[in-house]
């Protein structure tokens, strides 16, 4: 019997190991493109960059807290109160907990009343506006819907905030950085970028999960001047609207963020020292949605202005071949189990929505962004939700509100409008669908 057990025992061990390995792989949700591999990568970080990344966290709060811990005495430290203007270089208020960790202190409220006070709604699409208001609820923020085919602002809720001089773009800046790196030929959507050791990540995963070190590597490889060049080309640092009363300018700095604050890498992962407006971000996403045309955004405020609306092109961006490289990551943000915008699907699943979230904080105020476009049955639509406040405010919340917006639109039968019969455009063999009933 003992001899039989000796023969049986090796097979039993192999079986147990096989089951354990299968269970471990099933428990690991990380895509193959983001796992540690021994293969080489096309984009390699410098030695100095690898040393920086070795201690880098995926959260700016964690990063700032680590720096604060290093500078603080071994004993307890007091909370640090800071003041500053929106868009300025951040100085976070942190306090040490009993466990020795640091937590951020927020002073702004995530909730507000009378968000629509002072809005000029004449000329807006009433269904779109009503749905944006319903989605925002009492969250302190603004929401904008845009027709990317012509640059018309369909509705803009809390116009005072939407037209302000903007705020730190947080991780939404990664759209501009990704387009810049693609334009430079530095990456393709599936190019593995080394983040230290054997850890390689591609653009698909980095956009969907918002991997900060990935974009820091790209930013340092391109350098500040190239990053700024593309950001300006994509409309950052200039007014997005055409004669929109009250619009203020979001600023892209002329100088790189000091190295001690993270340099160009930090600018490319969190957008530090940059201020972006909801309209600037909406115009950029509209260009991605329409194939590369950067329109001046227009907000008609009279029936006559609506009837005589004429699109105005700011410039044509040479990004049409690059857009397919962006789409898997933007779609993954919403649809992948690790996507930062997957909360959108809790309320809406009927058609594709592609976008990018952003979460960061500045001087006691937390920002939450979600910019996206949707392939609706009546044509593409771009939305930007921007929230500000405290702990309840973050990018996934903005994505959740976007889902509520589309659910509200669907419940009002907005997407059931019929389309005209297929027609053939001159010089083309492909039929063209013309939407009917959509406000133009």
Q: Inform me whether the pLDDT recorded for 257 exceeds 80.
A: yes
Confidence of residue 26 (pLDDT cuts 50, 70, 90): very low
Q: Pick from 176, 105, 109, 114: which is nearest to 387 by CA?
A: 109
User: In the structure, what pLDDT confidence band is assigned to residue 60 with cuts at 50, 70 and 90?
Assistant: very low
Q: Tell me, what's the pLDDT at 324?
A: 98
Question: Tens digit of pLDDT for each residue in 312-334?
Answer: 999 999 999 999 999 999 999 99
5 versus 79: the higher-pLDDT residue is 5
- Within-domain flag for 149: yes
- CA-to-CA dists, residue 285 to 173, 175, 291, 295, 348, angstroms: 11, 8, 10, 11, 20
Whole-number pLDDT of residue 17: 43
Q: Which two tokens stand for residue 40?
A: 């080489």
Rounded to whole angstroms, the Cα distance separating 355 from 435 reads: 23
Q: How far apart are CA 175 and CA 218, in angstroms?
A: 12
The tens digit of pLDDT for each residue in 297-313 reads 999 999 999 999 999 99
Which helix (DSSP H) or strand (DSSP E) does residue 439 occupy? none
Query: CA-CA distance, 402 to 136, in Å (whole number)?
Result: 9
In a domain, 50, yes or no: no
Q: Which two tokens stand for residue 20?
A: 């354990």
Residue 11 forms part of a structural domain = no
Report yes or no: 86 and 170 within 8 Å, Cβ to Cβ.
Answer: no
Angle at 355 (CA atoms; ends 435, 229), nearest 5 degrees: 105
Tokens 């020292």 correspond to what residue? 273
Mean pLDDT across the stretch 100-125?
88
Closest CA to 358 of 240, 268, 244: 268
- Summarize the confidence of residues 103-127 as an average pLDDT: 93
In the chain, % of residues over pLDDT 70:
71
298 is a domain residue:
yes
To the nearest whole percent, how much of the chain has pLDDT over 90? 70
Question: 417: pLDDT confidence band, cut at 50, 70 and 90?
Answer: low
Scan for tokens 């006070």, then name that residue.
117
Cross-strand pairs, 36: 199
Would residue 223 count as lying in a domain? Answer: yes
Answer whether residue 72 shows pLDDT above 60.
Answer: no
Provide the domain limits for residue 280: 126-417
Query: What pLDDT digit, counting tens, does each position of 211-233 carry?
Result: 999 999 999 999 999 999 999 99
| pLDDT score at 335 | 98
Q: How many domains does the chain have?
A: 1
Distance CA 339, CA 337 (A): 6
- Say whether pLDDT at 89 is over 90: no
The CATH number for 289's domain is 3.40.710.10
In this structure, what are the phi and psi dihedrals at residue 8, rounded to the nearest 5 degrees? Answer: -80, -30
pLDDT of residue 33: 54
Residue 8 falls inside a structural domain? no
pLDDT at 53 (0 to 100): 54
For residue 63, tell me if it sits in a domain: no
């Amino acid at each position: 019997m003992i001899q039989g057990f000796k023969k049986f025992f090796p097979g039993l061990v192999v079986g147990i190991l096989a089951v354990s390995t299968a269970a471990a792989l099933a428990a690991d949700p990380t895509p193959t493109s983001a796992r540690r591999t021994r293969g080489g990568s096309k984009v390699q970080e410098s030695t100095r960059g690898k040393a920086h990344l070795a201690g880098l966290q995926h959260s700016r709060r964690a990063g700032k807290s680590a720096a604060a811990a290093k500078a603080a005495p071994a004993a307890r430290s007091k909370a640090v109160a800071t003041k500053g203007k929106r868009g300025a270089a951040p100085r976070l208020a942190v306090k040490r907990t009993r466990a020795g960790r640091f937590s951020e202190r927020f002073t702004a409220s995530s909730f507000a009343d009378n968000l629509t006070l002072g809005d000029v709604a004449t000329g807006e699409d009433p269904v779109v506006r009503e749905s944006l208001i319903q989605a925002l609820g009492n969250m302190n923020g603004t929401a904008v819907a845009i027709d990317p085919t012509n640059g018309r602002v369909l509705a803009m809720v809390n116009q005072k905030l939407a037209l302000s001089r903007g705020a730190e773009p947080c991780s939404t800046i990664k759209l501009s950085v990704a387009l810049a790196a693609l334009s430079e030929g530095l990456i393709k959507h599936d190019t593995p970028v080394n983040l230290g050791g054997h850890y390689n990540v591609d653009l698909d995963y980095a956009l969907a999960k918002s991997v900060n070190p990935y974009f820091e590597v790209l930013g340092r490889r391109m350098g500040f001047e190239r990053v700024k060049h593309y950001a300006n080309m994509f409309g950052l640092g200039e007014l997005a609207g055409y004669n929109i009363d009250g619009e203020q300018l979001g600023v892209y700095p002329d100088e790189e963020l000091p190295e001690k604050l993270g340099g160009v890498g930090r600018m490319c992962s969190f957008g530090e020292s940059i201020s972006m407006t909801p309209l600037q971000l909406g115009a950029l996403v509209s260009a991605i949605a329409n194939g590369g045309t950067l329109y001046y955004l227009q907000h008609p405020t009279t029936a006559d202005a609506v009837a005589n609306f004429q699109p105005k092109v700011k410039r044509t961006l040479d990004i049409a071949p690059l857009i397919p490289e962006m789409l898997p990551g933007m779609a993954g943000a919403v649809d992948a189990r690790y996507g930062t915008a997957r909360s959108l699907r809790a309320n809406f699943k009927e058609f594709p929505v592609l976008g990018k979230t952003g979460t960061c904080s500045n001087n006691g105020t937390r920002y939450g962004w979600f910019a996206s476009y949707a392939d609706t049955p009546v044509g593409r639509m771009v939305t930007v939700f921007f929230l500000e406040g405290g702990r309840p405010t973050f990018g996934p919340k903005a994505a959740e509100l976007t889902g509520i917006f589309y659910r509200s639109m669907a419940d009002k039968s907005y997407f059931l409008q019929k389309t005209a019969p297929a027609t053939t455009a001159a010089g083309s063999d492909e039929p063209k669908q013309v939407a009917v009933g959509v406000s133009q």
